[in-house]
Amino acid sequence: MKHVDLAIMDTCASNELVFDRLVKEKERLLITTISKAQAFQLERQGRFPQRRRISNRSVAWLLSELLDWVKSREVVISPTLTEGE
């Protein structure tokens, strides 16, 4: 069996082996911090990763797609207080 060093694996190269995993609802909520209803609404609008059916009564998302979605969110920069305020 071939040894694969995960620490140095390039997950961005399209010709390399990429490891991903499925994320169920409880973990999806922790990653994205949006409600189930909001995620469903955004998904229907094409603005959130699509769910994958993993059984008759279970769905999951690809972790990589959720992380890409989080990275694509606009960064909010709070105004800093100036000295003397």
The pTM for the full model equals: 0.69
Amino acid 20: pLDDT:
93
Cβ-Cβ contacts under 8 Å for 15 (sequence gap 6 or more): none
User: Is there a contact between 63 and 69 (Cβ–Cβ < 8 Å)?
Assistant: no
pLDDT tens-digit series, residues 10-50: 445 555 556 899 999 999 999 999 999 999 999 999 999 99
Cβ-Cβ contacts under 8 Å for 6 (sequence gap 6 or more): 19
pLDDT class of 53 with cuts at 50, 70, 90: very high
How far is the C-alpha of 40 from the C-alpha of 49, rounded, in Å? Answer: 10
